[in-house]
Amino acid sequence: MTSATPPAAPADNGPLLRVRDLAVSFDNRDGPRIQAVDGVHMTVHHRQTLAVVGESGCGKSVTAMSALQLIPRPPGRYDRGRMEFASKRGPVDLVALPEARMREIRGNEIAMIFQEPMTSLNPVYTVGDQIMEAVLLHQEVSDRDAFEIALQAMKDVGIPEAERRIKGYPHQFSGGMRQRVMIAMALACHPRLLLADEPTTALDVTIQAQILELLRDLRETRDMGMMLITHDLGVVAENADVVCVMYAGRVVEYANVLELFGAPLHPYTRGLLNSIPKLGERRERLLTIREIVENEAEFKRLPGAQGGIRPWWPWHDPPADLTPHEGPAGDYHLLEVRPEHWVGVWRTRAIEGHEGRLPDLSYRKPLSEPATGAAAG
Amino acid sequence: MGEPEVKVVRSSIGGGPRGTGEPRSVTGVQLAQGIGVQPARGFWADAWAQVVRRNTARFALAWLTLVAALAVLSPLIANGHPILLRELDADGSVVAVTSPMLRNLSAGDVLLVVGGLAGIGFFVMARRLSRADRLGVVLVSSVAVGLTLALTALVFSILRGHGDEGVRGWLRWGRVVLGSGLELSAGRLLIAGAIAAVCAGLAWLFLPLRRGRVAVVVPLAIVAALVASTWWVKPLQTFEYGEAVAAGRASAVYTLIPFSPSQRDVRGDLLAPGGHAGQSRRGPGREIVAGAPRHLLGTDSLGQDVLSQLLHACRLSISIGLVSTGIAVMIGTTVGATMGYFGGLIDLFLYRVVEVFMSVPVLFLLIVAAAVLPRNTYVMMAIIGCVTWTGAARFTRAEFMKLRNQDFVQSARAMGLPLRSILFRHMLPNGVTPVLVDASFAIAAAILAEATLSYLGLGPEEQPSWGRLLSDATNSVGDFVWWLAIFPGLAIFLSVLSYNLLGEALRDAIDPKLKKARV
Amino acid sequence: MITYIIRRLFLMIPTVIGISFLIFMLVALSPGGVGAALRVAGGGATEATNRAVQEAYLEDRYGLDAPVIVQYVRWLGRISPIKFGARGQIMPTGERVSAPKPLAEPWTRAWLGAPLPAAPRGAEPWKAGASAEEKSIAYARASDAYAQDRAAYVAARTLYREALGPYLRSVGLSGAIRGNRVRGSMLADHTPDRASAHWAAIEAAGARMLTSYQRALASRADLAAAFAARPFPQAGVPVVPGVVSVAWPDLGMSFARGRPVGQLIAAALPVTIGINLIAFPIIYMVAIPAGIAAANRAGRLFDVVSGTFFVALWSVPTVWAGVLAVGFLANKDYLGWFPVTGLHDAGADRMTYLPSPRGDGTWSMGYLVDYLWHVCLPVLCLVYAGFAVLSKQTRAAMLDNFNADYVRTAKAKGVEARVILFAHVFRNSLLPLITMFASIFPAMLAGSVVVERIFAIPGMGSLILEAINLKDRELILANAVMIALVNIMALLLADILYAAADPRISYS
């Protein structure tokens, strides 16, 4: 059993979570199977925030939920791939873990907070009970100690009058306070990895900033890795160390935050960044994502394009010189186009031979350094 | 190496991301853009398709179709009057050919056959309307006619039992006696006309037609008023054909089941299934009369053929279910819509009325009402309808309260549409779904209620009923007649089961909570 | 919470008034009227007077001569716990007696010129120190005498009115008789034409009317004296002595049984509630596990099979199930395993409560087992339909909550599937299940009516059917009010339980 004390600061001897070629699909009663995630790669290191960005339905939440096996099966199914996690008891593959072992990891080593603080708490139990439930599950403590731990967790996330409010029911809390409760619940057992699935989408802007700041502080003090799922590039610029852009179930670009905002390589990423207004810049109008991804020239700006390397894009017919691998997702490859900067490309003849390593960045943005300003809004 | 061609395909492509043709799988982004999504069929069409996919629902539809067909055709299937009667003279030559069956059809029989044919005709002919709309028109019309008949019968029976001679006289004011026992009076016609006008108004509100509502409603109201106000004095029924046939004075061709439901076998009470007509279950009459037809499902304690009664009772079962539920839905949605839309004091008052009806079990109110009012099919329909409307009212009220503040209603109001249009064209189609799903269960409950009342001896008197047959199965002496328990009980059970299964299927198809994708 | 409950209790009053009004009107509208079943159908000239007296007795006793609304208000006054005027007294039989009714003056007494009635007797009808029983008998005799005399007077008045009719028509005053009353004000100025051909009949009928009036006045005075002597304990507690008092509602006397309705209901209600108390736990104990299991296996074989099976059970008419159970399981010609009717064997009142050995080595079943054995089939007929309703509701609620976000949260915390199922999903599904109580309970009450009829159990259902068959107005109304009260209380209980189970709801 684990103890309540936080683990010692680790030597950075490898990633906390390494996702390799993950594929998840869902049965659809009336139509073809929905391939929500199809060959996703990413890594998360200690004290690092990996931001996963993409539009609705691109598979980012499914990736995060897969890490805790929260995908209902059926209709869901893990088609292939690995999610290697450095647990306290040695490395494990999260998608292959038996349920009993998975339960030890859930909430204990990997915790998750969700988008909807309004409905994510059980309305019939006090918030204290719900935080204590996690503590009692994973730590061998008495009820009294669990209560103290829950109380401390609520104080840590900045809930005022925690002694009184711990006996309150969720409906007595505001949205921001409920999200703090969710975070307190997630952090009560000192997890090594926090999955935050759009934690601020449902909150208003001032509360958003508070919650994100809280998460940032906690990440530093608790020595956690964090996967931050969002579609808000402003949030990414402020909080992320490494960014993973997803589209249609695949990673289209993967780089550290400064690199990605400074020199986006995939037309889709450029489209995303272009559609954000920037402070202090005068433009007639903003380009839409569509205007960029439907412009052929954009697809030829990739380094190596002259050599026949083409950004992968599901709405294009594959290039003529495609040399697909056997098996699914064989037409696609996540290529290290520049050092430590990966772009999803078609597996054409041009990339044969220099397929290189898969994304793995231990980069951490210096704390004091401000965001690039590329997307301040 | 030449520059590979980049061919931009717009998102309107039908094929998958890799290659063309029907996609094996789609991604979430594509799904969001409409790829891999089944073409929309319309709400009710979609629900219907899901309903008929179920085996249980198919079984239910088959049974209900059978019962409906039997309800219309029962006098042509089970009738004690021969289809053809040839009178013979001494040397065997034909003197006259008559059809006692046709001669003895009642106004109700004819109305049912003609109305049924008209309904089917409309359904087949009016191709310009969608199937759901046609079904709606047929259902609303038949319910409106039934409502007129039911309420008229209720009012007439109350007037007939009134203490004041003058009030009773209204019914006879301006009386005309037509031939063959048909009687009409101006007083009746006025009352029936007023009721028909109210019902027609209700039907007008509910008809799913944009134009031509008047063309449907007015003739229906006139026919309903005329039929409701006539007083049919039934000729005494005799079935004295057997003697003539036995004596060689006539030859007769009978229907499939040569017994009328009201035809009594004088000695043959409680004959077991397969017993012969004219046979007695005890005593000297046990021998079989040569050539006598068999009672396939036996007879009841009055010597009436069970099978014939079962067939003729289909009519009661189908009509009681549909009409009483129709009445309940019409009253309930109107009251519920009023409560939900206006709110405030109107809601406060009307909801107290609803609470009064809900404060005692429905069956209790039914028993009291059925016991003090005349035993008559139409009165029974009116009673069940007038007692069970609270469910529909509560559903509609809740829906309308939700809808009232939605943008499309606000905008309809902002455009200055008349209240009727806002309530019935814009809000009702959106708010009626739970009522319609519930209607199927309500029909089942109405059939159960009729069976229970008939079992308790409070059912309609002049018509055969499954519940009354069932009540014959046990008596105070402690005898138990299995064929009177099994067959009518099974008929009630299958009908109730069918409506319940249909309701289940419909609810599963429609209820958004159960359809929620679990991704 | 307390204030909420008190407010709800007050809100019950308009509902009870509404339902009793509805049923009162239904019964009043009924062709043949109240108590029609009791009226004697007889022929012959000699019986005509008797019948008139009998009808007058009934009409007078139940106030049927007044307009329906007045009758209803009178009835309300009797069941209202707040009474005005002198307090009533409770006879040892349980019947509530109040001060004798006033006697209406005869019509057009001035025309008849008869002498004033003799002075009332008004003597106390029993000796000092009489026992309660003697007082009771004496009072009942006085009360009976007054009722008879009163009825005779009402009947004589009716005959007088009928005699008056032809005369008034002949003098053009036919408007003075409207329905069954004579408008004295229209006749006050009229000087009767004693030479009219109709006068002899009027005079004869008038003399009979005055005689019966005198007799009725005398017996009323007797009764009034007896009542004033307060032979029996007084009902209720005075608030303002002699003006306002509070007492238990008086449900009246049953036409048919001749006993206070309150006693009949007090005997029948426990029987019905007893059967329902056995049936309810059975429904919940079968349906909830089945619903949970079905939700847990949603879409799989068990779900489909159990769902269809329960719908089939639900569709079985109670009357059919009852008839089949009586026929095949109880009838001696077939299996004969269970008793056919009633709640007890004939000798049940001599049984011990628990099974005990008889002297001869055999065992006596005992009261309890005998009861359970008798209620087996009735309870069976009551419960099976509830399985479908409740298990469907359980399943739907569970599925709803399976999809809820907080279940995902719990799972992400590492909570076991079984714990999630019970501590989170089922705990939240309890709320709709409590609401279901509100719809199952009335259905069970209604089911009891049928079941009690089939198995001849002397509960509320049998009482209702008997009342309805005899058109016994007091019994029907009292039953309705009682059922409405039980029902509304059950709904209130459901609301209170709901508030206890759901912290989001507070009634304060």
Q: Tokens at residue A67, please?
A: 């890490």
pLDDT surpassing 90 at residue B63 = yes
Share of chain C above pLDDT 90, in %: 2
C462-470 mean pLDDT: 85
pLDDT value of residue B498? 94
pLDDT value of residue A363? 81
Distance from CA of B29 to the nearest CA of A (A): 5
Distance from CA of C398 to the nearest CA of A (A): 14
Q: Would the CB atoms of A137 and C413 count as touching at under 8 Å?
A: yes
Q: Would the CB atoms of C412 and A105 count as touching at under 8 Å?
A: no
Between CA A351 and CA A323 the distance in angstroms is 10
pLDDT value of residue B34? 65
Which chains are within 8 Å of A by 3+ CB pairs? B, C
Q: List chain A residues with CB under 8 Å of C502.
A: 123-124
Q: Would the CB atoms of A123 and C428 count as touching at under 8 Å?
A: yes
Instruction: Choose among C23, C323, C476: nearest Cβ to B489.
Output: C323
pLDDT surpassing 80 at residue A19 = yes
Distance from CA of C285 to the nearest CA of A (A): 23
pLDDT, tens only, C352-382? 677 777 767 676 667 777 778 788 888 988 8
SS3 A166: coil
Q: Would you tell me how many other CB atoms lie within 10 Å of the CB of residue C335? A: 11
Phi/psi at B25 (nearest 5 deg)? -145, 160
Q: Would the CB atoms of C484 and B444 count as touching at under 8 Å?
A: no
B306-518 to CATH, choices 1.10.8.60, 1.10.630.10, 3.30.450.40, 1.10.3720.10:
1.10.3720.10
Q: Name the residue type at position B170.
A: W
pLDDT value of residue B180? 59
Listed in sequence order, the residues at least 6 apart from C85 whose beta carbon sits closer than 8 Å to its beta carbon are C99, C242, C243
Q: Would the CB atoms of B364 and C18 count as touching at under 8 Å?
A: no
pLDDT value of residue C42? 41
Lowest mean pLDDT among A197-201, A332-336, B352-356, C162-166: C162-166
Lowest mean pLDDT among B158-167, B382-391, C115-124, C146-155: C115-124
pLDDT value of residue C400? 83
The number of C-beta contacts closer than 8 angstroms across A and C is 73
SS3 A82: strand
Q: Output the DSSP codes for B22-45.
A: S-SEE-HHHHHTTTTPPPP--HHH
pLDDT value of residue C121? 66
pLDDT value of residue B517? 33
Q: Would the CB atoms of C415 and A137 count as touching at under 8 Å?
A: yes
Q: Output the DSSP codes for B379-397.
A: HHHHHHHHHSTHHHHHHHH
pLDDT surpassing 70 at residue C508 = no
Q: In three state form, how does the secondary structure of A293-319 look?
A: HCCHHHHHCCCCHHHCCCECCCCECCC
Q: Tokens at residue C448, please?
A: 């009891």
Beta-sheet pairing, A250-256 with A341-346:
antiparallel
Task: Provide the ipTM.
Answer: 0.80
Which chains are within 8 Å of C by 3+ CB pairs? A, B
Q: Would the CB atoms of B4 and A348 count as touching at under 8 Å?
A: yes
Give the residue with greater pLDDT, C267 vs B31: C267
pLDDT surpassing 60 at residue B396 = yes
Q: What is the DSSP letter of B212?
A: -
Between CA C484 and CA C465 the distance in angstroms is 16
pLDDT value of residue A367? 62
C321-344 mean pLDDT: 78
Instruction: Choose among A58, A300, A316: nearest Cβ to B29.
Output: A58
A329-336 mean pLDDT: 81
Distance from CA of C488 to the nearest CA of A (A): 27
The residue of C403, C413, C419 whose CB has the most chain A CBs within 10 angstroms, and thus the best one to mutate to test that interface, is C413
Instruction: Choose among A36, A72, A317: nearest Cβ to B28.
Output: A36
B215-232 mean pLDDT: 81
Instruction: Choose among B1, B5, B31: nearest Cβ to A34.
Output: B31
Q: Are C146 and C220 in contact (CB under 8 A)?
A: yes
pLDDT value of residue A6? 44
Q: Would the CB atoms of B361 and C487 count as touching at under 8 Å?
A: yes
B420-436 mean pLDDT: 77
Max mean pLDDT range (B59-73, B80-94, B499-513): B59-73
Distance from CA of A253 to the nearest CA of C (A): 29
SS3 A47: coil
Distance from CA of B436 to the nearest CA of A (A): 25
pLDDT, tens only, A42-85? 999 988 899 999 888 888 889 998 988 888 877 888 888 888 99
B11-15 mean pLDDT: 33
Q: Tokens at residue A365, please?
A: 């943005």
Q: List chain B residues with CB under 8 Å of C453.
A: 456
The residue of B165, B368, B386 whose CB has the most chain C CBs within 10 angstroms, and thus the best one to mutate to test that interface, is B368
Beta-sheet pairing, A49-53 with A225-230:
parallel
Q: Name the residue type at position B464.
A: P
pLDDT surpassing 90 at residue C71 = no
pLDDT, tens only, B472-500? 887 766 678 888 889 999 999 999 999 99
Q: Give the pTM.
A: 0.78
Share of chain A above pLDDT 90, in %: 9
pLDDT surpassing 80 at residue C119 = no
Give the residue with greater pLDDT, A178 vs B47: A178
Q: Would the CB atoms of B23 and A32 count as touching at under 8 Å?
A: yes
Lowest mean pLDDT among A313-317, C12-16, C187-191, C202-206: C187-191
A99 Cβ under 8 Å from any chain C Cβ: yes
Q: Are B451 and B274 in contact (CB under 8 A)?
A: no
pLDDT surpassing 90 at residue A186 = no
pLDDT value of residue A151? 92
Between CA C338 and CA C321 the distance in angstroms is 15
Instruction: Choose among A120, A121, A137: nearest Cβ to C414.
Output: A137
Between CA C225 and CA C230 the distance in angstroms is 9
Q: Is B276 exposed, middle or buried (0-12, 13-18, 19+ CB in 10 A)?
A: middle
A289-317 mean pLDDT: 80
Between CA A299 and CA A305 the distance in angstroms is 8
Return the closest-CA partner of residue B264 out of B287, B236, B235, B233: B236
pLDDT, tens only, B444-477? 999 999 999 998 888 887 788 898 888 888 776 6
A281-301 mean pLDDT: 78
pLDDT value of residue C114? 60
Q: Would the CB atoms of C19 and B359 count as touching at under 8 Å?
A: yes
C389-406 mean pLDDT: 86
Question: Which residues of chain B form CATH 1.10.3720.10?
Answer: 306-518
A218-238 mean pLDDT: 87
Listed in sequence order, the residues at least 6 apart from C298 whose beta carbon sits closer than 8 Å to its beta carbon are C395, C399, C402
Residues 331-370 of B with CB under 8 A from C: 352-353, 355-365, 367-369
pLDDT value of residue C185? 72
Between CA C204 and CA C159 the distance in angstroms is 10
Share of chain B above pLDDT 90, in %: 10
SS3 A75: coil
Q: What is the DSSP letter of A370?
A: P
Q: Would the CB atoms of B27 and A314 count as touching at under 8 Å?
A: yes
The residue of C405, C409, C502, C505 whose CB has the most chain A CBs within 10 angstroms, and thus the best one to mutate to test that interface, is C409
What residue of C is the nearest CA neighbor of B371? C468
Q: Output the DSSP codes for C450-469.
A: HHHHHHT--SHHHHHHHHHH
pLDDT value of residue C174? 72
Q: List chain A residues with CB under 8 Å of C433.
A: none
pLDDT value of residue C247? 77
pLDDT surpassing 60 at residue A249 = yes
Longest distance between any two alpha carbons in chain A, whole Å? 68
Confidence of residue C45 (pLDDT cuts 50, 70, 90): very low
Q: Is B5 exposed, middle or buried (0-12, 13-18, 19+ CB in 10 A)?
A: exposed
The number of C-beta contacts closer than 8 angstroms across A and B is 100
Q: Would the CB atoms of B518 and C403 count as touching at under 8 Å?
A: yes
Q: List chain C residues with CB under 8 Å of B360.
A: 19, 442, 480, 483-484, 487
